[in-house]
Structure 1
Amino acid sequence: MIFFLIFLGTFLIMECVTWCTHKYVMHGSMWYFHADHHQPKYANVFERNDIFFVIFAVPSIVLFYYGVEGGLNYKFFIGLGIMFYGLCYFMIHDVLIHQRFKWFKHTNNKYLIGLRKAHKIHHKHLGKEYGECFGMLFVPFKYYKI
Structure 2
Amino acid sequence: MSVIAAILIVIATIIAMEGVAWASHKYVMHGFGWAWHRDHHEPHDNVLERNDLFALVGAAMSIAMFALGSPWIMGEGAWPPAMWIGLGIMGYGVIYTLVHDGLVHQRYFRWVPRSGYARRLVQAHKLHHATVGREGGVSFGFVFARDPARLKAELKAQREAGIAVVRDSAGT
Give the TM-score taking structure 1 as reference length: 0.89
Q: 2:26·2:140 contact (CA, 8 Å) conserved in 1?
A: yes
Q: 2:123·2:148 contact (CA, 8 Å) conserved in 1?
A: no
The match for 1:81 is 88
Across the two proteins, how many residue pairs are aligned to each other?
141
Shift in Å at residue 90 of structure 1? 0.4
Q: Which runs of 5+ in 2 are unaligned?
A: 150-172
Q: Which moved more, 1:25-34 or 1:67-76?
A: 67-76
In 1, Cα distance between the equivalents of 2:16 and 2:70?
22
Does structure 1 residue 31 correspond to structure 2 residue 34? yes
1:22 to 13, 20, 25: 25
Secondary structure of residue in 2 paired with 1:40: coil
Deviation string 1:63-121 (CA, Å, 9 cap, x unpaired) is: 1123231699211100011000010000001111111112x423345100000000000
The match for 1:6 is 9
Q: Which runs of 5+ in 1 are unaligned?
A: none
Q: 2:124·2:147 contact (CA, 8 Å) conserved in 1?
A: no
In 2, Cα distance between the equivalents of 1:54 and 1:109?
33
Report the CA distance shift for 1:101/1:2 in structure 2 as closer, same or farther (over 3 A).
same
Shift in Å at residue 140 of structure 1? 0.9
In 2, Cα distance between the equivalents of 1:108 and 1:123?
20
In 1, Cα distance between the equivalents of 2:85 and 2:146?
27
Q: 2:112·2:119 contact (CA, 8 Å) conserved in 1?
A: no
Shift in Å at residue 6 of structure 1? 1.1
Q: Which amino acid aligns with 1:126?
A: V
Question: Structure 1 stretches (4+) deviating beyond 4 angstroms?
Answer: none
In 1, Cα distance between the equivalents of 2:59 and 2:79?
19
Shift in Å at residue 128 of structure 1? 0.1
Q: 2:66·2:87 contact (CA, 8 Å) conserved in 1?
A: yes
Deviation string 1:31-74 (CA, Å, 9 cap, x unpaired) is: 010000000122x1111100000011101012112323169921
Q: Which amino acid aligns with 1:115?
A: L
In 1, Cα distance between the equivalents of 2:31 and 2:66?
30
The match for 1:55 is 57
The match for 1:131 is 137
In 2, Cα distance between the equivalents of 1:106 and 1:35?
25
Give the TM-score taking structure 2 as reference length: 0.77
In 2, Cα distance between the equivalents of 1:121 and 1:128?
13
Higher relative contact order (CA 8 A, sep 6+): 1
Shift in Å at residue 142 of structure 1? 4.2
Larger radius of gyration between Structure 1 and Structure 2: 2
The match for 2:66 is 64
